[in-house]
Amino acid sequence: MPLQIYNTLTRQKEPFVPGTPGYVGIYFCGPTVYGDPHLGHARGPITYDVLRRWLEHTGHKVRFVSNITDVGHLVDDADEGEDKVQKRAKLERLEPMEVAEKYMWAYFDDMNDLNVRRPDIAPRAAGHVPEQIDLTQRLLERGYAYVRGGSVYFRVRAWPGFGKLSNRQVEDQEAGARVEVREEKEDPRDFALWKSADPEHIMRWKSPWGEGYPGWHIECSAMSLKYLGEGFDIHTGGIDLQFPHHEAEIAQAEAAGYKFARYWMHHNHVLLGGEKMAKSTGNFVVLRDLLSRHEPITVRFYLLGSHYRSVLDFTWEGLESAKQGYMRLLNAYREIRRQVAEAPAGRHAGLERAIDALESRFAAALDDDLNTAQALAALFEFVTEFNKALPDKPGRDTLARAEAVFGQLGEGVLGLFPKRVLEASLGGDLLDGLIKLLLEIREEARRERNFALSDQIRNRLTELGLTVEDTREGPKWKVGV
């Protein structure tokens, strides 16, 4: 079965068919860079990182574009208030572009720790002002926009398709309108494509309508079309962006005469105490704090443990049990790698079947709208089977296949065993060799009834987070309990 994706546009799971066979273009609405990322900000990048890796694993060439909003996102998310980046710049006494750089790198550093691959292109709104001006001009020429006082607004009433993604009608918006009516707008639902800059506004560019800056929504239409082309494959983002941001993106592109994204994926929120994690409400866990106190991959594992379309209520207990689960997988992978190095040639029928089952269950899970929780379950089932097969001393050929498949799915697709983690736990050959040497010395001490020394070695290893088990084949060590 091919990959099925839940498409927000049609509200159903659909088989995913790339516009050009073998090639996939993905756009992700990235962060507005004016503060430290919180845990909620990691869910989208990790989800779509797995999507990207899965598509590559299944033979596609992927171009992943993730924008950085460094201008135009105003404090109230509508067309009023200060620019978020500029406001922060005043607080920190920095240039707005210094603020953008600082928090963009904070974001990418966190994503790096989480083993989220860098986007192929990370376009910044401030670097694409001419493209945004062009698109705005096109909308003016076609009658879907108008100029008032140096600003340009999209004429929502002229575009009947507005609301098709979120299923929110213009009337709903009117009824619950929080949006302050700008006198210069023809209609309160209209949104800014270009805003005239007040004298104190720092980030400003020349335009046919005077000095100003782009509205928040226009960057994503302009930059996704530029780098992925018309009718590109998948547009992704948080569920809160469906309306009005994504609705506006579609309207801007289509009213200008361009085909826009064919599949829309939206991830649900990470909650804290039942409420959305959000900067504006102060209800959040700073990602950097979490990553400096816990192995970042356990945070990735934790987020992948639930389906991206369901809410995830963060708890410390949940993170703790994710840690235990992750260690089980990591230790199993480590054990497979060690066995491969030591086992004689040969095959093991039962383990071969378990590898087949892992491959097919894993694929079925991810093909079913990226069910990462089920994909993890497939890895755990395999670990159980592997442990069962161990007393038979399976041969190297089967073990090598197990190592390859576990690695391709666990690291290649789910991103759970980056080199850094493997080196820390396996220690490569050097650490492995050193620990073995210590254990040999301990054995010798025991034989000589020097229990003080043998206990000291064991206790010191335990303090370092290693567990030593005495088995019939001699002492074995692993990370964690």
Nearer to Zn ion, 29 or 439 (CB): 29
CB of 45 to ligand ATP, least distance (A): 9
User: Quick one: the chain helix, strand, coil %, rounded to 5?
Assistant: 50, 15, 35
CB of 473 to ligand ATP, least distance (A): 47
Nearer to ligand ATP, 32 or 196 (CB): 32
Nearer to Zn ion, 242 or 467 (CB): 242
Question: 226: annotated binding-site residue?
Answer: no
Nearer to ligand ATP, 43 or 53 (CB): 43
Question: 419: annotated binding-site residue?
Answer: no
Classified as helix, coil or strand, 299 is helix
Question: 220: annotated binding-site residue?
Answer: yes
Binding site partner of 414, from Zn ion, ligand ATP, none, Cβ cut-off 5-8 A by kind: none
CB of 245 to Zn ion, least distance (A): 6
Amino acid at 283: N
Buried residues in 398-430 as b, exposed as e (16+ CB within 10 A)? bbbbbbebbbebbbbbbbbbbeebbeebbeeee
Q: Residue 206 contacts by C-beta under 8 Å, 6 or more apart in sequence?
A: none
Binding site partner of 220, from Zn ion, ligand ATP, none, Cβ cut-off 5-8 A by kind: Zn ion
CB of 249 to Zn ion, least distance (A): 6
Q: What is the dihedral of CA 173, 176, 178, 184, to 10 degrees?
A: 50
* Rounded distance between C-alpha atoms, residue 398 and residue 396, angstroms: 5
CB of 35 to ligand ATP, least distance (A): 8
Within 10 Å of residue 448's Cβ, how many Cβ atoms?
A: 10
According to DSSP H, which parts of 58-95 are helical? Answer: 84-92
Largest CA distance in the chain: 92
User: x/- contact string, 15-34, with Zn ion (CB under 5 A)?
Assistant: --------------x-----
For helices 316-342 and 372-389, give the axis angle rounded to 10 degrees: 40
> Which residue's CB comes closest to ligand ATP?
238
Question: Cis peptide before 391, with omega less than 30 degrees from 0?
Answer: no
Binding site partner of 277, from ligand ATP, Zn ion, none, Cβ cut-off 5-8 A by kind: ligand ATP
Binding site partner of 215, from Zn ion, ligand ATP, none, Cβ cut-off 5-8 A by kind: none
Binding site partner of 270, from ligand ATP, Zn ion, none, Cβ cut-off 5-8 A by kind: ligand ATP
CB of 34 to ligand ATP, least distance (A): 8
* Rounded distance between C-alpha atoms, residue 481 and residue 168, angstroms: 51
Of 24, 17, 37, 96, the closest CA to residue 63 belongs to: 24
Question: 84: annotated binding-site residue?
Answer: no
Binding site partner of 238, from Zn ion, ligand ATP, none, Cβ cut-off 5-8 A by kind: ligand ATP
Q: Is position 220 an interface residue for Zn ion (rule: CB under 5 A)?
A: yes
- Please give the C-alpha separations between residue 73 and each of 89, 96, 215, 236, 473, in angstroms, as whole numbers: 14, 13, 7, 19, 63
CB of 289 to ligand ATP, least distance (A): 15
Binding site partner of 348, from ligand ATP, Zn ion, none, Cβ cut-off 5-8 A by kind: none
Amino acid at 318: G
CB of 123 to ligand ATP, least distance (A): 16
Nearer to ligand ATP, 223 or 438 (CB): 223
Binding site partner of 63, from Zn ion, ligand ATP, none, Cβ cut-off 5-8 A by kind: none
CB of 435 to ligand ATP, least distance (A): 40
With contact defined as beta carbons under 8 Å apart, do 435 and 461 qualify? yes
Question: 245: annotated binding-site residue?
Answer: yes
Nearer to ligand ATP, 277 or 297 (CB): 277
The neighbouring-strand residues paired with 275 are: 272
Task: List residues near ligand ATP by CB under 6 A.
Answer: 29, 31-32, 38, 40-41, 43-44, 237-238, 240-241, 269-270, 276-280
Nearer to ligand ATP, 41 or 337 (CB): 41
| Residues across the chain | 481
DSSP readout, 357-402? Answer: HHHHHHHHHHHBT--HHHHHHHHHHHHHHHHHHGGG---HHHHHHH
The neighbouring-strand residues paired with 146 are: 153
Nearer to ligand ATP, 109 or 352 (CB): 109
R_g (Cα) of the chain, nearest Å: 27
Phi and psi at 154, nearest 5°, equal: -80, 135
Binding site partner of 45, from Zn ion, ligand ATP, none, Cβ cut-off 5-8 A by kind: none
With contact defined as beta carbons under 8 Å apart, do 104 and 245 qualify? no
Binding-site residue numbers for Zn(2+) are 29, 220, 245, 249
Could you list the residues that contact Zn ion (CB under 5 A)? Answer: 29, 220
* Residues annotated within a binding site: 29, 220, 245, 249, 279
Annotated binding site for ATP: 279
